[in-house]
Amino acid sequence: MNGGSVIETSVLTRRYGSVVALDALTVRIEPGITGLVGANGAGKSTLIKILLGLVEPSSGTARVLDHAIDGDRAAISRLVGYMPEHDCLPPEMSATEFVTWLARCSGFPPSSARERAAEVLRHVGLFEERYRPMGGYSTGMAQRVKLAQALVHDPALLILDEPTNGLDPAGRDDMLALIERTGREFGISVLVSSHLLGELERICDGVVLIDNGKLVRAERLGVLTGVTGTLLVEIDGDAAAFAASLTALGVRATFDHQVVAVTLPESPDDTAERMAYDAVRDVAVQQRSALLRMERRRGHLEDLFASAL
Amino acid sequence: MNTPSSGSASPDVETAGAPPAAPSSDGSTIHDLGYRRYSGSRVGASGAWSALYVQSLRAMFGLGRPAKAKVIPALVMIVTMLPALAIITAASASNGQVPIKYGQQVGGQLFLFVLFLAAQSPEVLSRDQQHRLLPLLFTRDVTRTSYASARFLAIFTAMFIVALAPMLLLYVGQIGIAKDPAAAFRTMGDRAWPVLAQATLSAFALTGIGAALAAWTPRRAYATAAIFGTFLLLAAVSSGLDGLAGVGLRSAELLDPLRAMRTMALIFFGETNRGMELTPPPPIGVYVALTIGLGVAGLGVLLLRMRRLRT
């Protein structure tokens, strides 16, 4: 879709009086789903508002989908959908009216606006409720309407500010799944902010971590939280003896309670790895231990950023 | 309002053109079969502006809102038009012996227009701030300036309709009860411009004051109170100055927009009251300049507010 980056900022700075909300931030965000992570007050919302043209930067520049933020605002508003962190739903309006009206404010003709509103509301999982005044909506429903209005004009980039705020764990999972599906299936790039690193790692391709308005790290996650070279084997039996037997067979292994962590040797082809798996099987047979679970350990964002946070 | 969308009303039916439905193996309860990319036409900023304008105008009259929102607009329309109807009836019954006094009539109703303004203009300018809607608008095809202009023009249109309606009723009624309506229509030509001028100028001045105050007051109820309070305060100051020796009656009047507009109406329609006979008012140009000035100043304040507003 977009060959280059989705968002590019260059020494972007925003001061509020003596407070520096964004401090010379230079970052490049690739297409896909990107998490924007930082504590409250780290500058996430300021960055988002600058990208959206709601706040002027004190200095520095930024480009969104190859349009300069101080240049072609009309093009950016057509290509970007924004879900704010705060409440923004007039209580006496129904979701259908609200989303239709906002589609018209994005320049949709009346009939297309109605159609699009119905589609996106269905997409976010709002059915009969969408004709009721929004004042009576639960937080989960309100968040869905907010997502729907961000999608209604068919943007190429979605900017979601703390979309899981105020949701219960099940609601969070639903919202994250919805965001992931929207990003993956429709090729819409997503920048999603959160102060919770953990919840984003499931759905993100990359993470930008900021603190005190400064960039801490920006990483693609594919490699980092992908499968690692460690095999976790949960056994029913003596884990210490299991690990010792593996080590005796030349496979590095440690244990923690009932879980044995086997380091899979790296080799150009997978022969060494398969030999390690065979060793696990042989030891299990030899020790008459039941194998309860085997899985490749996945990297976690928290490990990745532990030093930074 | 049900949407007649392209045969995809049932959530179970896959929308044409949508990518193959995702395997919902994650156990999520969200069924998204409705989303698809949009490749239709876009009418752009002008469409956005008119959507905003129409929505504001409807909100000014409480249309598309619960019955509660229609109370004040309906009340003001009825209360201002009933006397006009009564005057026409009286004039008709007395065979034109009862004179139809436009200026007196509309001048006495200015306070009702203020009621309408105070109740309804916050509906279109304060609510968006109260419910924090502006960031959603300003990230669409709506700029701060186009937002302000659409809202202002919608309030002005509503005020113009409200101010014009009773005078229009008098005007049409006067032609209707004439012995020869066709002849009356021709001779009434010189009545038409004062009717339009009075409605336009008073609507413009009232809109300016209402829009400026509502835009600076993010809470609806406070905005209503601020608008009422401002008119009351100006009336109090103005009548207070009347009592002071040395201040001419007419210059004190200019401080109170309602009194000024009442006098303007009388001058427009060639009517007088006792005060005017005692102290002749300044030329009509002063009143025209005052009302235009109030409208322009209000629009300026609104634009300034929108430019400065942190969203």
pLDDT in the model for residue A237: 82
CB contacts under 8 A, B 36-75 vs A, are 36-38, 40-45, 47-48, 51-52, 55, 64-66, 69
Mean pLDDT score of chain B: 85
Picking from A115, A121, A124, the nearest residue to B6 by CB comes out as: A115
Q: Which residue of B has its CA nearest to A46?
A: B311
CB atoms within 10 A of CB A277: 16
Give residue A25's identity as a one-letter amino acid code.
Answer: L
pLDDT in the model for residue B286: 93
With CB atoms and an 8 Å threshold, state whether B35 touches A122: yes
The residue behind tokens 């990518």 is: B19
CA atoms within 13 A on the CB side of B69: 17
Looking at the predicted structure, is the pLDDT value of residue A20 above 60? yes
Q: Name the minimum distance, in Å, from the CA of B23 to any CA of chain A.
A: 10
Q: Which residue of A has its CA nearest to B7?
A: A115
Looking at the predicted structure, is the pLDDT value of residue A177 above 50? yes
Query: Burial, A190: exposed, middle or buried (Cβ in 10 Å; 0-12, 13-18, 19+)?
Result: buried
User: B10 — contact with chain A (CB < 8 Å)?
Assistant: no
Q: Mean pLDDT across the stretch A227-246?
A: 84
With CB atoms and an 8 Å threshold, state whether A78 touches B141: yes
A135 secondary structure, DSSP code: G
pLDDT in the model for residue A156: 95
pLDDT in the model for residue A23: 93
Q: Name the minimum distance, in Å, from the CA of B85 to any CA of chain A.
A: 36
With CB atoms and an 8 Å threshold, state whether A97 touches B48: no
pTM of the model: 0.81
The residue behind tokens 């030329």 is: B283
Mean pLDDT is lowest, of A57-71, A147-161, A230-244, B126-140, for A230-244
Question: pLDDT: is B93 or A268 the higher one?
Answer: B93
Looking at the predicted structure, is the pLDDT value of residue A195 above 90? no
Residues 6+ apart with CB under 8 A from B159: B113, B116, B117, B202, B203, B204, B206, B207, B210
pLDDT in the model for residue A96: 97
pLDDT tens profile A196-227: 887 887 888 899 999 999 998 888 876 555 55
DSSP string, chain B: -----TT--STTSPPTTPPPPPP-TT--S----S-----S---HHHHHHHHHHHHHHHHHTTTTS-GGGGHHHHHHHHHHHHHHHHHHHHHHHTTT-S---HHHHHHTTHHHHHHHHHHHHHHHHTHHHHTT-HHHHHTTT--HHHHHHHHHHHHHHHHHHHHHHHHHHHHHHHHHHSSSHHHHHHHTHHHHHHHHHHHHHHHHHHHHHHHHHHHT--SHHHHHHHHHHHHHHHHHHHHHHHHSTTS-HHHHHTTSHHHHHHHHHHHHTT---HHHHHSPPPPHHHHHHHHHHHHHHHHHHHHHHHHH---
Chain B partners of A89 at a C-beta cutoff of 8 Å? 131
Q: The complex's ipTM?
A: 0.81
pLDDT in the model for residue B76: 94
The CA distances from residue A230 to A248, A276, A278, A292, B247, in Å, are 18, 11, 15, 17, 93
Q: By C-alpha distance, which of B135, B145, B136, B128 is closest to B56? A: B128
Q: Mean pLDDT across the stretch A131-136?
A: 94
**A62 phi and psi angles, rounded to 5 deg:** -150, 150
CB contacts under 8 A, B 101-160 vs A, are 127, 131-133, 135-143
pLDDT in the model for residue B26: 47
CB contacts under 8 A, B 173-192 vs A, are none
